Amino acid sequence: MKIIILLCTLLLTSCSSIPLATIAHFSDAKPEDFLTVNPKKYW
């Protein structure tokens, strides 16, 4: 069962267009934080 969950997770993350580093960075963000994001800071 754990292998099936792992494979599904890998499949979903490999097909994702959002890098994992970005997901990890914004995982604890509040909705208001996305209104004040400065894109130049992350490039």
Q: Measured between alpha carbons, how far is 3 from 23 in angstroms, rounded to an integer? A: 23
The two structure tokens encoding residue 14: 């490999």
Tell me the pLDDT of the chain (43 aa) as tens digits.
Answer: 888 888 888 887 776 677 777 777 777 878 777 777 777 766 5
Domain extent at residue 9 = 2-42
**DSSP secondary structure letter of residue 2:** H
In total, how many domains does the chain have? 1
| pLDDT value of residue 1 | 87
What span, in angstroms and rounded, lies between the C-alpha atoms of 27 and 19? 12
Q: Quote the DSSP letter at residue 26.
A: H
pLDDT value of residue 41: 67
Report the pLDDT value the prediction gives residue 14, as an integer from 0 to 100.
Answer: 72
